[in-house]
Every structure is written in C-alpha cells, then in structure tokens.
Amino acid sequence: MTLHVSIMTSEEIGHLTQTAHKFVLKRARKQLAKSGINPNDFWSEYTDLITGKAKKRLHLPKRECLLAINDDWYSDKAIAQVMAVWNVWDLEEEIK
C-alpha cells in the first residue's frame, strides 16, 4: 500500500487567499516557527518558466498548511478557502 500525502504550495495559498506570495512566505515561516516546526524542512526551489530565475516556495502537508495560515492577518473567508480545498482533497482520498 502506498501512502499519498497531499501538499499545498505557498503559491497556492497566496492564490486562494488573494495574498502576495512574499507575504504568504513571511507569515508561514513565522507561524511554523511559533509552532516549533522548522520551515526550512518544507522549502522547494524551482525555475520560473517566464523569467528563468530560481525561486523558492513552501510545500506544506495539511497540518503545516493549516498552521501556516493560523494568523490573525488572514480573514475567516481566506482561511475557509484553503480549508475547502483540503476538504475536497480529503474526500477524493476517501473515494480511492
């Protein structure tokens, strides 16, 4: 049996919460560190297809994602958007 772990990127969080990626990264790093989690464990580097520049983003499993958005800056609506995606992914996993 293969264990599948869904992840959400910091860019996806930014899109769902309508927040600039640099602010998502700043808040996520702060919230993860407050929870005793090293954000460096979730970094991923990639090449931007448009600019060709190397960029970083976070690849977060569900628990770390929800901790990362547990910040008073995010509105309830923004948090609900992220949670709705996780709920869909959880349902898809149950169906498999």
Domain tally for the chain? 1
- Return the beta strands (E) in 1-96 as ranges: 7-9, 43-47, 54-61
* Among candidate residues 84, 80, 69, 61, the one with its CA nearest the CA of residue 34: 69
In a domain, 78, yes or no: yes
pLDDT of residue 94: 81
**Is 26 inside any structural domain?**
yes
Question: CA 32 to CA 20: how far, in whole Å?
Answer: 18
pTM of the full predicted structure? 0.87
Q: Spell out the per-residue pLDDT of the chain, length 96, in tens.
A: 455 679 999 999 999 999 999 999 999 999 999 999 999 999 999 998 899 999 999 999 999 999 999 989 899 999 999 999 999 998 888 887
Predicted local confidence at residue 91, as pLDDT: 87
pLDDT of residue 93: 83
Per the domain annotation, does 58 fall within a domain?
Answer: yes
Confidence (pLDDT) at 62: 96
**Enclosing domain of residue 61:** 7-86
Contact yes or no for 41/58 (Cβ under 8 A): no
Task: Return the closest-CA partner of residue 12 out of 75, 54, 68.
Answer: 68
